[in-house]
Structures are given as structure tokens and as C-alpha cells.
């Protein structure tokens, strides 16, 4: 499949299965235009939940303090 082809599925389950086959993973995020929501496959949800503590630590202890220092601010 090259970048000039379009594939249309008859249903969401069919589209999801096609995406799995083409991408080689069942981790998916579906953008449907809803606000304040994220639609993900079960495997992606499990991945995000497992990664969340380390991401929170990285942001709280490293990235946010660095960003603030670059702007002449500090955490209080």
C-alpha cells in the first residue's frame, strides 16, 4: 500500500482489524471529534496506564522544573 491509496471499511471493527494488520500492533487511538475524551483500544489503555507513573515522575521531577528554570521561575 502506498501513500496514494485509500481503504474504506464497512464497519469500525473491520477498520480496526485492517489497522492491526497494516500496522502490526493492536494499540490504537481513535479520534472521533469528541472533547475531553480519548478513545483507545484495551491494549493501548493498559500501556498508557502502565506508563503513567513514570511519565508523571519525569514531568514532576525533571521536565517541569527545567521548563520553569528556562523561564526564570521555580516551583514553590
For 31-48, write each residue's pLDDT tens digit.
878 888 888 999 999 999
CB-based contact 60:50 (threshold 8 Å)? no
Residue 17 is predicted with a pLDDT of 92
Q: Give the long-range contacts of residues 13-21, CB within 8 A, separation 24 or more.
A: 16/41
CA atoms within 13 A on the CB side of 67: 7
> Is residue 4 situated within a structural domain?
no
In a domain, 25, yes or no: yes
The answer as to whether 3 is a domain residue is no
pTM for this predicted structure: 0.69
Number of domains forming the structure of the chain: 1
The answer to the question of residue 76 being in a domain is no
Q: Provide the residue range defining the domain that includes 43.
A: 12-70
Residue 63 lies in a domain: yes
Answer whether residue 2 is part of any domain: no
Amino acid at each position: 500500500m502506498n501513500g496514494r491509496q485509500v481503504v474504506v471499511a464497512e464497519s469500525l471493527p473491520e477498520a480496526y482489524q485492517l489497522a492491526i494488520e497494516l500496522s502490526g500492533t493492536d494499540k490504537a487511538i481513535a479520534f472521533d471529534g469528541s472533547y475531553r475524551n480519548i478513545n483507545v483500544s484495551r491494549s493501548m489503555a493498559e500501556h498508557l496506564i502502565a506508563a503513567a507513573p513514570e511519565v508523571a515522575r519525569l514531568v514532576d521531577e525533571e521536565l517541569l522544573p527545567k521548563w520553569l528554570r528556562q523561564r526564570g521561575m521555580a516551583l514553590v
